[in-house]
Amino acid sequence: MQFIDGGVTAPQGFTANGMLCGIKAGRTKNDTALIYSEKPCSAAGMFTQNRVKAECVKLTKKNIADGIMQAAVANSGNANACTGEQGAQSALRTAKAAASVLGIAPENVIVCSTGVIGQQLPVEKIESHMAELAAGLSKKGHEQARTAIMTTDTHYKECAVLTEIGGKQVHIGAMCKGSGMIHINLGTMLAFITTDCAISSKMLSEALEKSVEKTYNCVSIDGDTSTNDTLTIMANGMAGNAPIESEDADFDAFCSALDAINVQMAKKIAGDGEGASRLIECNVKGACDVKTARALAKSVISSSLVKAAFFGKDANWGRILCAMGYSGEKFDPDGTSVSFASCEKSERYGATDFVGEQKGKRSTIKVFDHGVPLDFDEILAKKILDENEVCIEIECSDGNACGTAWGCDLTYDYVKINGDYRT
């Protein structure tokens, strides 16, 4: 398996485009994206756990239920949430507009929105540009689409991988947005995954659920879960592999490649948290089971006090133990150790295609050892915490299970960004 260029258009048969339709006054970058497969796709999706759901979420959940999709439309600048029957009709009109110019059924169109809640979507602006948007579909169009879904994101987020399944070359591509209102139930994110792998919608759904549990659902920026969270995957089968219809070696290979994609996207979201100055990764080892390990890691990276300490480059390990203690999970504090680690010139948000593959010198400092505080070098600790990506390494003594979660520091800029988000 190798990482490649191309994002959502890396797989065979997929094209994309993005353009400015004028959804939100004053925006100067693209605000509407279109992804299209030349062949119908097996499809699966996961959606916000918020009880309040945007109209586009309601429509897409209904449309994707039969496991067949062929296109996706996404706008930024307006969430189309809490907008009643008019909002429902706007989501449907978006699907119909795309279907009309693409020559497909409206029921086979994914519709997503992100932005301000409680304002009616100016759907006529999307409708009036849809023909132009479709006419510009291309393999290079992922470059236009990836920026069209951004809100407070400071960097686009995409990646793609090439792997071999059943003797055939299979591509998986992805793009997503997410910067604020991010918590462990997907977060305020729109994510679109495409693949030319031949795989049934049932197995696609199973693979997606398994992958999300250890990637997207292990990210927290501010503890908020949006009304619009949507993660979809479309598979058009054009790679020509024998269709994956059960759990076998080919399914395992697909899951491995999907996990590689989703880890990268999760880290890019965490590193680009609103106002963030560093990416925080928390690795828990030696837990009694995987569920516990992940829960402990999530509790640590979700703590406002931990996040604030990292902003101040303060090796305040006591806040980490405290967050583990109120997680609700069982572990032995007296058998627990904590270290901090980072690499020189580490990458926070993935300005390149990857996050985490660092070439600089790695430094580690242990601050807590089997329930006992250590007299550690504060200057070295501050230097480690000053890098763009910092790891919290937690060693428990309760078993052999591991788990990882990702977050970011809490800065003054987070308040500034969200203090006037609506206006």
> pLDDT tens-digit profile of 230-274?
999 999 999 999 999 999 999 999 999 999 999 989 888 887 776
Low-confidence winner among 177-191, 215-229, 364-378 (lowest mean pLDDT): 177-191
> What is the mean predicted confidence (pLDDT) over 273-286?
86
Identify the pLDDT of residue 21: 97
Residues 6+ positions from 137 with CB-CB distance below 8 Å:
15, 16, 17, 34, 36
State the DSSP code for 241: P
Evaluate if residue 179 carries a pLDDT over 70: no
Are 173 and 286 in a shared domain?
A: no
For residue 363, the domain's CATH number is 3.10.20.340
Kindly indicate the confidence band of residue 352, based on its pLDDT and cuts at 50, 70 and 90: very low
Task: Look over the chain and give the mean of its residue pLDDT values, rounded to a whole number.
Answer: 91
Structure tokens, 294: 């992940």
Identify the pLDDT of residue 153: 82
Domain with 316 in it: 279-419
Helix (H) or strand (E) holding 111: strand 109-116
Residues 6+ positions from 59 with CB-CB distance below 8 Å:
88, 91, 92, 95, 111
Q: Strands 2-4 and 389-395, how do they pair? A: unpaired
Distance of alpha carbon 190 from alpha carbon 204, whole angstroms: 18
Q: Which of 244, 271, 298 is the last residue of a domain?
A: 271
Catalytic residues: 188
Identify the pLDDT of residue 422: 54
Identify the pLDDT of residue 403: 96
Q: Which residue type does 230 have?
A: T
Q: Percent of the chain at pLDDT above 70?
A: 90
Q: Which of 237, 255, 271 is the last residue of a domain?
A: 271
> Smallest Cα–Cα separation from 13: which of 276, 196, 257?
196
Evaluate if residue 180 carries a pLDDT over 50: no
Kindly indicate the confidence band of residue 319, based on its pLDDT and cuts at 50, 70 and 90: very high
Burial of 103 (0-12, 13-18, 19+ CB in 10 A): exposed
Evaluate if residue 338 carries a pLDDT over 80: yes
Kindly indicate the confidence band of residue 358, based on its pLDDT and cuts at 50, 70 and 90: low
Evaluate if residue 51 carries a pLDDT over 70: yes
> What is the mean predicted confidence (pLDDT) over 340-363?
68
Identify the pLDDT of residue 322: 96
Low-confidence winner among 146-150, 185-189, 344-348 (lowest mean pLDDT): 185-189
> What is the mean predicted confidence (pLDDT) over 7-31?
96
Identify the pLDDT of residue 349: 56
Residues 6+ positions from 104 with CB-CB distance below 8 Å:
40, 70, 71
- Report helix, strand or coil for 199: strand
Are 121 and 236 in a shared domain?
A: yes
Are 252 and 358 in a shared domain?
A: no
Q: Hunting for tokens 């918590």 — which residue is that? A: 183
Give the bridge partners for 175, in sequence order: 158, 192
Are 11 and 67 in a shared domain?
A: yes
Indicate the number of domains in the chain: 2
Identify the pLDDT of residue 151: 84
For residue 147, the domain's CATH number is 3.60.70.12
Identify the pLDDT of residue 49: 83
Low-confidence winner among 339-348, 374-383, 389-398 (lowest mean pLDDT): 339-348
> What is the mean predicted confidence (pLDDT) over 83-94?
97
Question: Rounded to whole angstroms, what are the CA distances from 306 to 60, 320, 352?
Answer: 37, 6, 27
Q: Which of 251, 271, 291 is the last residue of a domain?
A: 271
Q: Hunting for tokens 């409206």 — which residue is that? A: 106
Burial of 297 (0-12, 13-18, 19+ CB in 10 A): buried
Burial of 347 (0-12, 13-18, 19+ CB in 10 A): buried
Buried b (16+ CB within 10 A) or exposed e, 3-21: beebbbbbbbbbbbbbbbb
Helix (H) or strand (E) holding 322: helix 317-325
Identify the pLDDT of residue 278: 87
Are 192 and 326 in a shared domain?
A: no
The model carries a pTM of 0.88
Distance of alpha carbon 34 from alpha carbon 192, whole angstroms: 11
Low-confidence winner among 69-78, 280-289, 306-315 (lowest mean pLDDT): 306-315
Are 338 and 403 in a shared domain?
A: yes
Are 80 and 150 in a shared domain?
A: yes
Please write the tens of the pLDDT for every residue from 121-135.
999 999 999 999 999
Are 242 and 297 in a shared domain?
A: no
Distance of alpha carbon 320 from alpha carbon 290, whole angstroms: 19
Burial of 383 (0-12, 13-18, 19+ CB in 10 A): middle
Are 198 and 320 in a shared domain?
A: no
Evaluate if residue 85 carries a pLDDT over 70: yes
- Report helix, strand or coil for 104: coil
Are 144 and 6 in a shared domain?
A: yes
Please write the tens of the pLDDT for every residue from 226-239.
788 899 999 999 99
Q: Strands 190-195 and 230-235, how do they pair? A: parallel
Identify the pLDDT of residue 351: 41
Please write the tens of the pLDDT for every residue from 34-43.
999 999 999 9
Residues 6+ positions from 41 with CB-CB distance below 8 Å:
68, 69, 70, 234, 235, 236, 237
Identify the pLDDT of residue 219: 86
Kindly indicate the confidence band of residue 287, based on its pLDDT and cuts at 50, 70 and 90: very high
Q: Hunting for tokens 């009304």 — which residue is that? A: 227
Are 262 and 336 in a shared domain?
A: no
Are 363 and 249 in a shared domain?
A: no
- Torsion, Cα of 324, 329, 330, 332 (10° steps): -10
